[in-house]
Structure 1
Amino acid sequence: MSTYERGQALSEKVNPGMEDALRARYDALVPGLSRTVVDVAYGQFYARGGVDEKTRLLATIAALTALGAQTRPQLKVNIGSARAVGATREEICEIIFQMTLYGGFPAMINAMNAAIEVFEAEEKETPDE
């Protein structure tokens, strides 16, 4: 299986429709951008062995949190992806809180607000019965 095929399978698992959304938004400006993201980010990085998907996504959430508010869109995508592979809300929030030491309180608060938005969207998709 090629790295693109591995990336495509994983991206569809954790973020269905992502490649199509990237293609529609960016490929007219940068032909092949969507395929490159799927091949490189998902196929060559996220689908690597060594650590499980949840751990890799929690590490991504930590990095994006420490980088600050400019990563909010990517942070929300990765929080959703982490939830899709079994990360709990508590695990995600603890990782975000830990990043206070590295990114500061504003970065942590911004990331926590992004997480809350993802969690609220989940609740709207699957209301309590």
Structure 2
Amino acid sequence: MTADAAYQRGRALAEHLNPGMEVALRDRYGRWLPDAVAETVVGHGMGEVYAREGLDLKTRLLVTVGALAAMGGQTRPQLKVNVASALRAGASAREICEAIFQMHLYGGMPAAINALNAAIEVFEAEGTSP
């Protein structure tokens, strides 16, 4: 797949999961890192990694949520974006909470509690019930 094809595939996926993400990345980082952050997240992240065969999108996002939860509080903004994306990909609130809770074994209970709190904020903002 060409880089342009990956970027176009990533652009469509990003817009589905997180409408406006590409523009937000360009607006925030484009002045400082032209042609870097948006292109990497959209082209490589979405177009090449998230669109790969082998795992469905919902599973990929649950894995991402778990990884971000285990990394701890410094990932809160990315965690919230990925929780919302997981919901859009068909994950239930319970599945998301279970993925986060599982990570207490690896990142510790404080990281899991912080991640659950971030997820609950997303659920409440999106009108998602348990």
Give the TM-score taking structure 2 as reference length: 0.92
1:22 to 20, 25, 35: 25
**CA separation in 2, counterparts of 1:72 and 1:9?**
25
* Aligned equivalent of 2:121: 117
Cα distance, 1:36 vs structure 2:
2.1
* Aligned equivalent of 1:9: 12
2:109 is the counterpart of 1:105: yes
Gaps of 5+ in 2: none
**CA separation in 1, counterparts of 2:41 and 2:67?**
18
2:80 is the counterpart of 1:76: yes
* Aligned equivalent of 2:91: 87
* Aligned equivalent of 1:42: 46
- The structure 1 segments of at least 4 consecutive aligned residues displaced by more than 6 Å after TM superposition are none
For residues 2-40 of structure 1, give each alpha carbon's deviation from its aligned partner in whole angstroms, at most 9, with x where no partner exists.
110110010001000000001111100000121221001
Amino acid at match of 1:44: E
**CA separation in 2, counterparts of 1:46 and 1:78?**
12
For residues 13-71 of structure 1, give each alpha carbon's deviation from its aligned partner in whole angstroms, at most 9, with x where no partner exists.
10000000011111000001212210011111111111100000000011001111000
**CA separation in 2, counterparts of 1:108 and 1:45?**
25
2:68 to 64, 78, 82: 64
Gaps of 5+ in 1: none
Give the TM-score taking structure 1 as reference length: 0.93
- Report how many residues are paired: 124
